[in-house]
Homo-oligomer: A and B are copies of this chain.
Amino acid sequence: MADQTPHLTITPLGGLGEIGLNCQIWSTPDSMVLVDCGLMFPEDYHLGVDVVIPRFDHVLQNRHRVRGIVLTHAHEDHIGALPWLMPHLKAPIYGSRFTLALVEHKLREHGLADRVELVPVSPDAPLVLGDMTFRFLPVCHSIIEGYALAVETPAGRVVHTGDFKIDPNPLSGPGTDLALFRDFAGEEGVRLLLSDSTNIERDGQSLGEREIMDTFRQLFQEAEGRIVVTLFSSHIQRIQEVFDLASEFGRKVVVSGRSLMNNIEIARNLGFLRAEAGMILDAVTMPPMADRDLVLLVTGSQGEPLSALSRIIMGEHKQLCIHRGDTVVMSSRFIPGNARAITKLINELYRLGAEVYYDKVRSIHASGHAHRDELRAMIEAVRPRYFVPVHGEYRHLVKHCRLAQECGVAQERTIILENGDPITLTPDSVRFEEHVPVEFILVDGKGVGDVGHSVLKERHILGGEGMVIVVLVVDDTGWEVLHGPEMLSKGFVFEQHYNHVLEDAKCIVLDIFENIPPGETERLQDRIRSSLRRFFRKVLERDPIVVPVITTI
């Protein structure tokens, strides 16, 4: 039986301690709502892992109480885990039309589209889910149709900013209207603000999209050859800018890369992207065109090896190539783990004779997240009683709390939550609940959660040192070797170079065999493993996985 006194319990399942995996459970006496359902891309040490998702146990244990999933916007770190949750949960998904269109596309890819109810919401109408009323306040971000959540809860008014920036002079759309936040907060201010911490370390204000477009316009003016643009494929506003400039400068646009083509189609169908008839050409059927009449809009801003840009550079793209005189614009941030792959691409582009512009050398990308002054403006707009920073690594959360304190929130009311640490707000108090398990789930192919610490550790050794298989068949008396020892290796050494080492290893195995009484197969395996590892460490300074395969016939 749930606690019936008016309250709101927020349980972060992810996003507090990392950028990614945003997912929170909001629970009241009457209802449970999931706010966002994001994934995270694997870290370096997550060998072979495709994606990382939150642990949904706590949601599924309470599935009868779940009234719905409310999405702030359509980035992967906010919607990407839905395909792994929805097979187990029957609940409607609420979000903007564009957000839901991307969700629908994703669910269809996983064969789940027909099983899920998608309910569009808008700033025009509040959404009542049990004893919570959600209002959707448009925010400016690097994707269209993102919302902050302004929620009336049994514990008072709560604002969750989602991912936002404040572009005072947006190119299109409503931008982030702080007046709406102020109105919602009213005289008293809100009871709780949950705010995006990504860029707390950046002073001042984020660059506006208008400034980005100005830089792009200069590049269009200067470019004599083709212009190749790569960007995050969900950044519909910036795609619109490229279309508009292409039109202004009389160029046609060729799009390459699956995710870009999908998103452009979705956005055009919903009326979020305008392109003149005939402006978008098909790479396969397009007529020969002069370089200066063309823009290539391609995937691959993170140096992904299978993306359009990588394939073009490596000469593996069927229709497109890059040559001297082309201008390449990499209009996105370099995600740290990808920096080497991206700079490798840039060097290759220069080798092909192209000129390349990226964030470091020209203002052709703006972050979608508020800088420090904007974060301050948000806090001042809603004047929260309690402040919980979200969407950040630990240091960001610490620094965002300090900013809230500078804005007048008492130190003891700025609260760093970590994943799995629920907090309960009542109309007149706050308390911390018992930790819930939130170790993330690794997804590798169709395996969800089966790749854990021990498999990763094996992969780590296999990947760094390789492995050696020792095959030995002995007769059932255990005294006679019928076959072997045979040595097979993978990823260990180039065997032709090291024949003598493998021969020496065989002698060691025979020696061990002769000194262990018949029948003690396990002991024999242990000794082979430890002796060969010691031997390889000594002669090669390598430490492969040794797998003794001993068969008794």
Chain A residues with CB under 8 Å of chain B are 17, 43-44, 47-48, 201, 336-337, 339-340, 343, 346-348, 350-351, 356, 360-361, 393-395, 398, 444-447, 450-452, 454-456, 458-467, 469, 471, 473, 482-484, 486, 488, 490-494, 497-498, 539-542, 545, 547, 549, 551-553
A459-B201 in contact given A471-B549, A483-B551 (Cβ < 8 Å): no
10 further contact pairs, Cβ within 8 A, besides A458-B490, A459-B463: A43-B340, A47-B463, A48-B465, A447-B497, A450-B498, A454-B494, A455-B493, A458-B491, A463-B464, A469-B547
Q: Which residues of B contact A454 (CB under 8 A)?
A: 494
- Residue in contact with A201 in the complex, picked from B48, B361, B462, B465, CB distance below 8 Å: B361
A547-B394 in contact given A201-B361, A445-B542, A498-B450 (Cβ < 8 Å): no
Q: Which residue of B lies closest to A461 (CB)?
A: B491
Q: Is the CB of A462 within 8 A of B469?
A: no
Q: Which residues of B contact A473 (CB under 8 A)?
A: 473, 483, 551, 553
Bound complex: CA A498 to CA B445 (Å)? 14
A462-B455 in contact given A394-B350, A444-B542 (Cβ < 8 Å): no
Q: Which residue of B lies closest to A50 (CB)?
A: B541
Q: Is the CB of B446 within 8 A of A540?
A: yes
Quote the shortest CB–CB distance from A337 to chain B (angstroms). Answer: 6
**Which of A493, A551, A553 has most chain B Cβ within 10 Å?**
A551
What are 20 of the A-B contact pairs (CB < 8 Å)? Answer: A47-B491, A48-B491, A343-B393, A356-B395, A444-B541, A445-B541, A446-B539, A446-B540, A447-B493, A447-B542, A459-B462, A469-B469, A469-B549, A471-B471, A471-B549, A483-B553, A484-B551, A488-B547, A490-B547, A553-B553
Q: Is the CB of B450 within 8 A of A493?
A: yes
Q: Is the CB of B339 within 8 A of A394?
A: no
Q: Which residues of B contact A463 (CB under 8 A)?
A: 47-48, 459-460, 462-464
Ranked 5 nearest A-B pairs via Cβ: A463-B463, A445-B541, A458-B491, A462-B462, A48-B464
Bound complex: CA A213 to CA B347 (Å)? 35
Q: Which residues of B contact A350 (CB under 8 A)?
A: 394-395, 398
Q: Is the CB of A494 within 8 A of B451?
A: yes
Bound complex: CA A402 to CA B445 (Å)? 48
Q: Is the CB of B494 within 8 A of A450?
A: yes
- Residue in contact with A452 in the complex, picked from B47, B451, B494, CB distance below 8 Å: B494
Bound complex: CA A337 to CA B547 (Å)? 32
- Residue in contact with A351 in the complex, picked from B360, B394, B465, CB distance below 8 Å: B394
Q: Is the CB of B447 within 8 A of A347?
A: no
Bound complex: CA A348 to CA B451 (Å)? 25
Quote the shortest CB–CB distance from A410 to chain B (angstroms). Answer: 20
Bound complex: CA A461 to CA B356 (Å)? 33
Q: Which residues of B contact A445 (CB under 8 A)?
A: 540-542
Q: Is the CB of B482 within 8 A of A553?
A: yes
Q: Is the CB of B464 within 8 A of A47?
A: yes
Quote the shortest CB–CB distance from A268 to chain B (angstroms). Answer: 32
Q: Which residues of B contact A491 (CB under 8 A)?
A: 47-48, 455-456, 458-459, 461-462
Quote the shortest CB–CB distance from A465 to chain B (angstroms). Answer: 6
Q: Which residues of B contact A450 (CB under 8 A)?
A: 493-494, 497-498
Bound complex: CA A447 to CA B452 (Å)? 32
Q: Which residues of B contact A465 (CB under 8 A)?
A: 48
Q: Which residues of B contact A47 (CB under 8 A)?
A: 463-464, 491
Q: Is the CB of A459 within 8 A of B466?
A: yes
Bound complex: CA A367 to CA B343 (Å)? 19
Bound complex: CA A549 to CA B471 (Å)? 8
